[in-house]
Amino acid sequence: MVKPVKRTAAFFLITVMIISIGSVAAGSNPYLTGYVEGFFKGAAGQSKVQIEDYDGIVHTLDVNTNTAYLIDQREVKLSVFKPGLEVYGRLTGRTLSSLEGYSTSNMGYIQPGSRIRTGTVKKIDRDQIIVSLPTGDQETYFSSSATIVTKKGVNASLNALYEGDGVRLYFDEANSFMISRMEIQGDSILIKDLYKGRLGVVDQYDNAVTITGVEIFKNAKWQPLQSSLRISCSDEAAIYIAGRKVPLGNLKQYAGKTFYMAVKNFFGKSRVEKMVLANQYESVYIDKISEINWFTGAFELAGRKNIAFNESSIIVRNGRLVDQYALNPLSDAFVATDGRGREQAAGVVYILNEDLNNSNIGQNNLYAGRLDQIIPDKLLMKEFYLMNKNQWESFNDQKELFYDNDTDIYDVDEGKKVSAKEFYTMDYAVEESSGYAKSRGLKDWYGYIFSDGDRISSIMVQKNLDSMLRQRVSTGQIEAIENDPLVGWKLKLMNSCDWSSLKEKWMERSVSTPINIDKAMLIRDGRMVSRDTLKPGDRLYIVRDDYNAKVVVVK
Amino acid sequence: MKRVLIAFMVFLILSQSALVYAIPTEFSGGVNNEFEYSEYVFLTGEPVKFTGTCKITETVSKDKKTVSYRIILSPEDKKLEGKLDRNMSYITTYTKYSEKGQTTSQTTVGTVKETIAVGANRYELKNYQFYKSNVIDNRPVADYYNGNIKGKKQYSINTDEGTATIDISGGDVGYENFWGNTDTQLIDYVITVNKKGSGANASNESWQGTVKVQVSDSGTKQLRYSRNEAGYSSFDGGYMKIINREMVSTYRYDLPEIKGGKPDANKRKQGSVELSQSMLPKLERLVVPKFRDIGGHWAEDYISKLYSLEVFADTKEFFQPDVAMTRSEFIKGVMQACNIRPNIDQKKTVSTSKKKTAETPVFKDLKTTDPNYAYIKDAVEKGIISGMTPELFKPNDPLKRGQAITILIRALGFENKAPTPGFATSFADDSHIPGWAKDCVYVARELGLVQGDSSNRFNSEAVLTRAEASALLVRFLEFLQKDLQKDYRENILLYN
């Protein structure tokens, strides 16, 4: 009886061992698990592949025409697989139904700067920039101190950006909204002229219209330009009739009607960017927009006049064509309306407001005052003035500003540039009560300063203080510029406005203004520039004493 | 004699076809139309505009192209005496890498002869070295290319009064498809003039200046509706194809201030000048659609445009815009819309000239007699489609949104512009977008070809109606016409 028990026990033990061994083997048996993972070894003929699993066992598996081959979720052919590629295969029955390889080490990577967005700046709020895209969408992007900004191919600061500017934004990551590089469209974004005239011939093959009785908007009024003008329209020209956008081909039946046109320069030729039909009678207002009702799409001028506006209105701000949402209450504007009686719709809204800074990104300030103390890298001003809301505001205080080797320093009395070392070693700031100063009759000099925060970008120094009360701020566009042998550099300013402190509004001038810039500090792109760099069409922000400019900032 | 005649005819055809392709005239930043050529010359230290005529001759052999320019100009300012006489040819040889779908080209200068006279100065070109190399990526609906330019021109001034050297460096970028082509060159010139006056007035008049030249030549075909003025007509109006070509150029210079003919060592003159010329538009009227069921439909314009282009060849009265578009019809539509037809026609001609042998269809569920077979086969060969399975195409299955986008992006050759795998698209239903479509959906959104629905979903599995597919195809054509032009011209020139 003992023997059978022994045999049974031995049989049981062997069975258990076999089962357990079988279990271990099943872990790496693809036919049992339904999958195989490891490394691709190669194709064995047309219908088999070899895969070495992580245990080092090489499996030769069947494939057929329905087997799906993928590398990183992308469909490929079997021939793309290279020996050594890490793979995962799924089996259906005894055949591989799919084989996926894993090759990408940096998932979701794009070439830095390869994601690009092009659009128009709709809103700037510090580091947030809302951009209208060609698709009609709007997206918010973010700038940082690391954002590289260029304008016309030259490095610029973010302060150069205006609402209405065309921008090309580059991103380093696939789903990032942080701008790594920003290109700002150059002067081609500017509205060169505003025209008014009667529609003549429409050439839809050449994208051109002929206008008769052409008038140009200049110095706050329409002025005759020429009797007939053939002008191209851009491919994307927005043409509006009764608030509705229409294609150029539909204009034919409006021949003889008056149109307003916003025109840009396109490689030396004028081109219509926006065109609006003036269907009834024109009225013109120059006033402050006191209130905007966004629900009814109308604004009220300070003179209690209500004017409707919509996407068809030509709205120009800072020389750029902007959309209706860029209108701000308290803006001073030239408005040409179309309508009759109380029903008036804005055909053209030309915003007169201009500021030292282009947006709230800017930290530029204008100072004027006595140079009390100059030490290496630092200037202390006493009894200084700060340009605040387009007028000098005086402070009986001290102001600390910093300069460096890149600061442009100009001695206007001597007519020469001064180095940073000369600036503090020479007698631009002295201790007036000292024997040294008294014996030499030295006194502190005065300066006009253009700063970026508390860093002096440019400073113009002179021996005597000007009368600051006489100075006023004007804006305008250069109509002509010349170097007169008798009076020096002078320019003619058109579409100019003066800031009225009393009325707290921009007052449009009805004639072109002559301005002498021979003894002025000229600033362009944050740097002091020479007079010969100014050119017709440049938009200026000027601090002037009568006809003599003191500070000219090219916008 | 017959051979000579054929060769002559081929030469003529090739010479004429050269006018169609948009490539800026020479490498001087000049622009031209059918009547006039103009460019700026800076050798005197001042920008001087020259205008006149330019005759371009192009000869093409198998892997070689020779372009010759004969340019005779005079200063636009009639008070200034002068003449520019240039006889130049450039030889380009091509190397094809068929398996990679790419071509490279090398361009060198052939004939060289140039004299420029401005006022009292005469500049004669003594030596000109020029090298240009491009890589062309040949994708199904468009070729994209990018190249580099290096050259040097050396002139003598008044025979023995000195030399003027122009160092040329830069590159070009362009594309070419049935709906448009653009070539934009960005070239920098560094001009070095070493001039010594002769005789009693001998003085050193050496100077150096730079000129950045940006020039673009661009042609597009646009569809525009033309209304029938007559009321008693069998049709109200129809579309026409307008073929435009425009050249624009900007020279941004930094030169010495020249006073009394002598350069001022301390003063610079910076500025820019621009040129533009347009060719007379060419017109081509298209057939008129007469469907009875598309009037007032939201997609009426899209369907009419595509019918006019013969993308839809239906001769029946009803287009049935709200019926599902089939996979086979869409493929044919894409191929037709992008004019990928000559290849097919050519193949047909070849096959008919030989003894017929039974062709194995590219998919099991397709017959070679299927009217759309040639298009599907060509699309497979060009890598635009790969079938539902390796064996089945399912030609009559309704077209899904994900499939349509994949087809269009592959046709553009842009599927590689997606990030490396492992990314997510910005659509809310990203997880439902199949792996094979993800790259293309991501790229299509980047290009602005697709947008999400009101819930920002892509809806990859949604069936496209014939109307929706028409709208998508027309947007695709606009991309080929306008978006590419804007990217290769405005977005480069207006931002640099």
Token output for B237:
């109006």
Res B16: pLDDT? 40
What is the per-residue pLDDT for B93? 96
Residue B93: which of B103, B105, B109, B111 has the closest Cα?
B105
> Closest partner residue to B420 among A104, A205, A247, by Cβ?
A104
Task: Pick B420's closest partner by Cβ from A109, A265, A532.
Answer: A109
A86: contact with B, CB 8 A cutoff: no
Quickly state the pLDDT bin for B3 (edges 50, 70, 90): low
Q: How many Cβ atoms sit within 10 Å of the Cβ of residue A370?
A: 16
With a cut of 70, say whether residue B424 has pLDDT above it: yes
Cross-chain CB nearest to A74 (options B278, B435, B451): B435
Q: What ipTM describes this predicted complex?
A: 0.85
Mean local confidence (pLDDT), B79-107: 94
CA-nearest residue to A532 within chain B is B269
Contact of A234 with chain B, judged by CB distance below 8 Å, is answered with: no
Q: Would the CB atoms of A104 and B421 count as touching at under 8 Å?
A: yes
User: What are the contacts of A201-204 at 24+ separation with CB within 8 A?
Assistant: A201/A230, A201/A255, A202/A248, A202/A249, A202/A251, A202/A252, A202/A255, A204/A248, A204/A249, A204/B224, A204/B226
Quickly state the pLDDT bin for A21 (edges 50, 70, 90). very low
pLDDT digits (tens, 9 = 90+) for A298-338: 999 988 889 999 999 999 999 999 988 888 888 999 999 99
Across the range A14-41, mean pLDDT stands at 69
CA dihedral A48, A51, A57, A60 (to 10 degrees): 0
* Mean pLDDT, residues B13-28: 60
B173-207 pLDDT, tens digit per residue, is 999 999 999 999 999 999 999 987 665 555 678 89
State yes or no: pLDDT of B342 exceeds 50.
no
The rounded percent of chain B whose pLDDT value lies above 90 is 69
How near does any CA of chain B get to the CA of A202, in Å? 13
Tokens 């653009």 sit on residue: B182
| Separation in Å, CA of B161 to nearest CA in chain A | 31
Q: pLDDT higher for B272 or A3?
A: B272
What local confidence, expressed as pLDDT, does residue B199 receive? 59
CA-nearest residue to A165 within chain B is B495
Q: Is A114 on the interface with B (CB under 8 A)?
A: yes
CA distances from B252 to A45, B118, B164, B189, B216 (A): 64, 21, 19, 10, 15
Residues of B in contact with A188 (CB under 8 A): 494
pLDDT at position A533 over 90 = no
Q: What is the pLDDT of residues A498-517, one digit of tens each?
A: 999 888 889 999 899 999 99
What percent of chain A has a predicted confidence (pLDDT) above 70?
95
Residue A153 has pLDDT above 60, yes or no: yes
Place of tokens 């450039």: B90
**Mean pLDDT, range A245-254, rounded to an integer:** 88
Residue in chain B closest to A204 (alpha carbons) equals B224
Q: What is the pLDDT of residue A23?
A: 42
With 0-12 / 13-18 / 19 or more C-beta atoms within 10 angstroms meaning exposed / middle / buried, residue B237 is: middle
Q: What would the pLDDT profile of B199-234 be if each residue is shown by its tens digit?
A: 555 567 889 999 999 999 999 999 999 888 898 998
Q: Residue with structure tokens 């010969």?
A: A532
- From A65, A70, A189, residue closest to B435, measured CB to CB: A70
- Give the residue with greater pLDDT, A8 vs A184: A184
Mean pLDDT over residues B143-155, rounded?
96
pLDDT exceeds cutoff 90 at B348: no
Q: What does chain A come to in residues?
A: 555
Which chain B positions have a beta carbon within 8 Å of A134's beta carbon? Answer: 448, 483
Residue A106: its chain B contacts at CB < 8 A?
A: 420
A138 in contact with B, Cβ within 8 Å: no
Confidence of residue A2 (pLDDT cuts 50, 70, 90): very low
Question: How large is the greatest C-alpha to C-alpha distance in chain B, in angstroms?
Answer: 91
Of A260, A268, A273, the C-alpha closest to A214 is: A260
Model-level pTM? 0.86
Checking if the pLDDT of A169 tops 90, the result is yes
**Nearest one of B191, B171, B199, B331 to B258, comparing CA atoms:** B191
Per-residue pLDDT tens over the stretch A447-501: 999 999 999 999 999 999 899 989 999 999 999 999 888 888 999 999 999 999 8
Contacts of B61 (CB under 8 A, 6+ apart): none
Q: For all residues of chain B together, what is the average pLDDT?
A: 88
The residue-averaged pLDDT of A345-349 equals: 94
Distance from CA of B242 to the nearest CA of A (A): 7
pLDDT in tens, B52-89: 999 999 999 889 999 999 999 999 999 999 999 999 99
Distance from CA of B426 to the nearest CA of A (A): 8
Shortest CA gap A27–chain B (Å):
29
Please tell me whether residue A502 adopts helix, strand or coil conformation: coil
Size of interface A-B (CB pairs under 8 A): 108
What residues of B are in contact with residue A204 (Cβ under 8 Å)? 224, 226
A-chain residues within 8 Å CB-CB of B448?
Answer: 133-135
> Cβ B271–A535 below 8 Å, yes or no?
yes
Average pLDDT over residues B430-459: 93
Average pLDDT value for chain A:
90
Q: Which phi and psi (to 5°) does residue B353 adopt?
A: -75, -20
Within 8 A of A137 by CB-CB distance, chain B residues are 451
> How confident is the model at residue B463, as a pLDDT?
96
Residues of A (532-551) whose Cβ lies below 8 Å from B: 532-533, 535
pLDDT score for A115: 93
Reported as a single tens digit per residue, the pLDDT across A112-138 is 999 999 999 999 998 999 999 988 889
Residue A268 has pLDDT above 60, yes or no: yes
Predicted confidence band of residue A19 (pLDDT cuts 50, 70, 90): very low
Q: Which of B309, A294, A11 is nearest to A3 (CA)?
A: A11
CA distance A135 to chain B (A): 6
- Comparing CB atoms, the residue among A74, A166, A175 nearest residue B421 is A74
Q: What is the pLDDT of residues B119-133, one digit of tens each?
A: 889 999 999 999 999
A104 touches chain B (CB under 8 A): yes
Of B275, B283, B436, the CB nearest to A267: B275
pLDDT above 50: residue A22: no
* Residue-level pLDDT at B202: 59
Lowest-confidence pick of A361-370, A539-548, B329-338, B354-363: B354-363
pLDDT at residue A20 above 50? Answer: no
pLDDT at residue B48 in the model = 96
Query: Please, which residues have CB within 8 angstroms of residue A316's CB and are 6 or more apart in sequence?
Result: A191, A194, A262, A322, A348, A349, A350, A351
In one-letter notation, the amino acid at residue A524 is R
Please write the tens of the pLDDT for every residue from B300-327.
999 999 999 888 877 788 999 999 999 9
Residue of chain B whose alpha carbon sits nearest to that of A117: B446
- The shortest C-alpha distance from B153 to chain A (Å) reads 26
Backbone angles phi, psi at B177, to 5 degrees: -145, 180
**pLDDT the model gives residue A526:** 87
Say yes or no: A78 contacts chain B, CB-CB below 8 A: no
Tell which residue, B319, A237, A68, B431, has the closest CA to residue B311.
B319
Whether residues A186 and B495 touch (CB distance < 8 A) is answered with yes
Which residue is it, tokens 């490498």?
Answer: B27
Which residue from A minimizes the CA distance to B433? Answer: A73
- The verdict on a CB contact (< 8 Å) between B435 and A134 is no
pLDDT the model gives residue A12: 61
